[in-house]
Amino acid sequence: MHIKSAEFLKSAVHPEHYPEESLPEIAFAGRSNVGKSSMINCLLGRRGLVRTSSTPGRTQLLNFFTVNDAFQLVDLPGYGFAKVPLAVKRSWGPMIRTYLEKRRSLRCVVLILDIRRVPSEEDLQFLDWLEEYEIPTIPVVTKADKVTRGRRRDHLKKIAEACALPVEAFTLFSATSREGREEIWGRVAEALNP
Ligand code: GDP
């Protein structure tokens, strides 16, 4: 996909503050530090547009972006971040569930996992919610460059088993090598224009 424009639109917590549902939307989710902001910045070809969860501020909100004036991209707050206050942690679940339930313009969620880690309880819970709300899901395994090519299939198999999904459901990605970028855009484009 050719990215002509990518702009930050607004941050929100509650539905009344979400931007209008005038464009179809895709959302990105994953645990803190999984590499979500690196992935979005790499996909958009905009260094620093999306902030990493190790910087405080916008990271506990839903952050909306407009891309090519054609669709909206939402950076969902990363989960499992130890340094976040308990009250924020407790409000994360309802905030996400409300978004998944209410956002009619949402076409798909890219769920990001780390190739070196077995999915956490929170990852699996997120997958359950996506299934519950019948939201098409693009599971992506990132940081592929951290594992040798020969070992990737083994890692992928373990992750797929934990998620109860076929290995083929996953796209391998690396923000370092940029592999998987076109495949993700292809899957996103399909979800946006079925
Ligand atoms: P976020 O908290 O999910 O937004 O994660 P970040 O994008 O901030 O990434 C967390 C850390 O992982 C940073 O130090 C990144 O440089 C690193 N990282 C992210 N993606 C990759 C990747 O594909 N390969 C490698 N080797 N490192 C990555």
Residue 143: the pLDDT is: 98
- Determine the average pLDDT of the residues in 10-23: 95
Residue predicted with more confidence, 90 or 55: 90
Residue 147: the pLDDT is: 97
The model carries a pTM of 0.95
ipTM of the complex: 0.99
179 within ligand 1 shell (Cβ under 6 A): no
38 C-alpha vs ligand 1 centroid, how far in Å? 6
36 within ligand 1 shell (Cβ under 6 A): yes
In tens, the pLDDT along 114-144 reads 999 999 999 999 999 999 999 999 999 999 9
Q: Where are the alpha helices (DSSP H) in the chain?
A: 36-44, 86-102, 121-132, 149-163, 181-192
Domain spanning 6-192: which superfamily? P-loop containing nucleotide triphosphate hydrolases (3.40.50.300)
pLDDT at 56 > cutoff 70: no
Residue 88: the pLDDT is: 73
66 within ligand 1 shell (Cβ under 6 A): no
16 C-alpha vs ligand 1 centroid, how far in Å? 32
Paired sense of beta strands 62-67 and 106-114, if any: unpaired
Q: Provide the residue ranges of all domains of the chain, joining segments of one domain with +.
A: 6-192
